[in-house]
Amino acid sequence: MKILITGARGMLGTTLQQHLHQHELLATDLPELDITDPAKVDGVMQRFVPDLVVHTAAATNVDGCEADPDTAMRVNALGSAIVAAAAGRINARLIALSTDYVFDGSAAHAYHEFDTPAPRSVYGISKLAGETAVRAHCPDHTIVRTAWLYGASGPSFLHTMLKLGSQAGPALKVVHDQCGNPTSTDALASLITRLILHPIPGVIHGSCEGEATWYEFAVAIFKAYNLKRELKPCSTLEFPRPAPRPANSRLDNRVLRLAGIAPMPHWLDALASYISECKLNEERSG
């Protein structure tokens, strides 16, 4: 299969390239392919003629989006429209990545695909506009919403915890009133590989099973890496950020269940796999 990846040097894109290496891949990113440049995107699509486009490119700095809404909308909304329209014109399939931030986080349950989005941050608004554009411009599409990603190349919460955890200092305060599904790029790339074989139209949620607060995620990381710095739970109010964060970011992978697709791993198992893979890679590289 011919597969074009946008944002291929990002955290998910890097893992995807490893998972999809048996296909004919065109890995694109800035600066060679800016998804906000319609002529360039069309040109690349018309020359390569992919069967499938995996669209991961995005402005992902949540606080950066809040500070610069035009860039957020240009990349996440307009850029997604441009990629979707170009894919639609050559009848390619499109798998586009989206986020838990499309929800406001006020529900008591884990959000499923039939819940109504109501984003509160610029990032969430821009990603939801990107979803709408994908639906409008590329008939053969799957939108995969995921959350709390970490992967080998970072940056991610896990990378931040490893850095701070190995520094001496006072107890590290970590937010304990926001809940979500820590998800490895490896588990997500495996899901995307399964979706290539078993296409599902529309929106699906794809985050690891089980749930944790950021504090609980940090505790698991510190335990796995034997980091000794003290961790202290704190509230969102004690750790204010420019962009609002959903208190409840939990995603229910309901459509995966309904479609009979193999479930995502539990986040603790995915974390253990990630750590053993990193150790193996370190041993291999001496």
What residues act catalytically? 123
Q: Which residues contact 36 (CB under 8 A, 6 or more apart)?
A: 74, 75, 78, 79, 82
Using the 8-state DSSP alphabet, how is residue 90 labeled?
T
Considering only 97, 172, 251, 271, the residue that binds ligand NAP (CB under 6 A) is 97
Q: How far is the CB of 219 from ligand NAP (least distance, A)?
A: 19
Considering only 27, 52, 56, 184, the residue that binds ligand NAP (CB under 6 A) is 56
Q: Is 75 in the site for ligand NAP (CB under 6 A)?
A: yes
Q: How far is the CB of 170 from ligand NAP (least distance, A)?
A: 27
Q: Is 149 in the site for ligand NAP (CB under 6 A)?
A: yes
Part of the chain binding ligand NAP (CB under 6 A), chosen from 11-19, 103-111, 216-224, 261-269? 11-19
Using the 8-state DSSP alphabet, how is residue 102 labeled?
G
Q: Is 146 in the site for ligand NAP (CB under 6 A)?
A: yes
Largest distance between two CA atoms of the chain: 56
The count of residues interacting with ligand NAP (CB under 6 A) is: 27
Part of the chain binding ligand NAP (CB under 6 A), chosen from 144-152, 224-232, 235-243, 264-272? 144-152
Q: Which residues contact 89 (CB under 8 A, 6 or more apart)?
A: 42, 45
Which of residues 160 and 229 has its CB atom nearest to ligand NAP in the complex?
A: 160
Which of residues 80 and 168 has its CB atom nearest to ligand NAP in the complex?
A: 80
- The rounded distance, in Å, linking the Cα atoms of 101 and 119 is 6
- In degrees and rounded to multiples of 5, residue 266 shows phi and psi of -65, 145
- The rounded distance, in Å, linking the Cα atoms of 215 and 234 is 8
Exposure of 260 in the CB half-sphere (CA atoms within 13 A): 2
The length of the chain is: 286
SS3 82: helix
- In degrees and rounded to multiples of 5, residue 278 shows phi and psi of -60, -40
Query: Per-residue x/- marks for ligand NAP, 12-41, CB under 6 A?
Result: xx---------------xx--xxxx-----
Q: How far is the CB of 276 from ligand NAP (least distance, A)?
A: 22
Q: Residue with CB nearest ligand NAP?
A: 10
- Positions 104 through 133 that interact with ligand NAP (CB under 6 A): 127
Residue type, 43: G
Which spans of this chain sit near ligand NAP (rule: CB under 6 A)?
6-7, 9-13, 29-30, 33-36, 56-60, 75, 79, 97, 99, 127, 146-149
